[in-house]
Amino acid sequence: MRPFFPGREPGPPVFAAHRGASDRALENSPAAFALAVKGSADMIEFDVRLSSDGVPVVFHDARTGRTAKENLAVARTPAARLRGLRLKNGEKLPFLLDVLEIVGGKVPVNIESKVPGGIAAAAKALSRADYGGELLLSSGVRGECLAARDLLPRIPCGLVTHRPSASDLAFCLRHGLSSIHPYRRLLTVVRLRKVAASEIPLLPHTVDDPAEAFALIAAGAVGIFSNRALALREEWSRR
């Protein structure tokens, strides 16, 4: 099993800022990432999709309408058109290179590929930026996890899943994945025990309630993804 972060010793739980500091700014926006960096987040998670010409865009949904001022299909829109798109907070839609520049290696980042080819495009962007910060890759597309192992074998990669099935755990173990990131609503006591038995680091998403977050950590999670990551970390430190 690859380490969760290369060279990092076990320590406090990781409160990962889901799509940046998304409780204080629009999700996956430059402002959300800047606030997470300013708050020295344990880790910043964000999503990568591809424009029609293969450029990695930081956006969660397949279409832009929920958080942007226009409703475009990301995969059918060229990068030049997306660069002119404004988010609902008035900022430009960020591309992967933009976010890497904002973070600047100051805190770890989790790049989650939402589509086939996302990891390959991210690898090119990381090389182009000569990015030296701490990284975790992840995807709910198994082929993307395999691409991560082939293209970026030194960078840990986690599997995103709705529920940590026996097949998911076997896939992680077979391919040396670093962690598993299941949907917290589908984490039963039995599933938590099976993950614990596998010794695969567990990071559920997306957990905003302190009691739920701390209960999952007590049950063996090494951390959680949260829209309120900085606030939860502060509350944890006061315990």
In this structure, what CATH number is given to the domain that contains residue 99?
3.20.20.190
Residue 7 is assigned to a structural domain of this protein: no
- How many Å is the maximal CA-CA distance in the chain? 49
Share of the chain above pLDDT 90, in %: 93
Please give the mean pLDDT across all residues of the chain.
95
What's the pLDDT at 11? 77
Structure tokens given for 165? 């099935």
The alpha helices in the chain, defined as continuous H runs, are 30-38, 79-83, 96-103, 118-129, 142-151, 166-174, 189-198, 210-218, 229-237
Residue 148 is assigned to a structural domain of this protein: yes
Domain count for the chain, please give it.
1
Residue 3 is assigned to a structural domain of this protein: no
Question: 201 to each of 78, 95, 181, 194, how far by Cα in Å?
Answer: 37, 29, 9, 12
- As a whole number, mean pLDDT of residues 141-147 equals 98
Residue 9 is assigned to a structural domain of this protein: no
Flag whether pLDDT at 2 surpasses 70: no
Residue 125 is assigned to a structural domain of this protein: yes
Residue 34: which pLDDT band, with cuts at 50, 70 and 90?
A: very high
Residue 42 is assigned to a structural domain of this protein: yes
Q: State the sign of the Cα–Cα–Cα–Cα dihedral 171, 173, 178, 181.
A: positive
Residue 93 is assigned to a structural domain of this protein: yes
pTM greater than the 0.75 cutoff: yes
204-213 b/e with 16+ CB inside 10 Å = b? bbbbbeeebb
DSSP 8-state assignment for residue 60: S
Domain span including residue 77 = 14-237
Rounded Cα–Cα distance for residues 48 and 168 (Å) = 22
DSSP 8-state assignment for residue 159: E
Give the model confidence (pLDDT) of 186-212 as tens digits: 899 999 999 999 999 999 999 999 999
Structure tokens given for 63? 């279409």
DSSP 8-state assignment for residue 86: B
DSSP 8-state assignment for residue 6: T
Residue 60 is assigned to a structural domain of this protein: yes
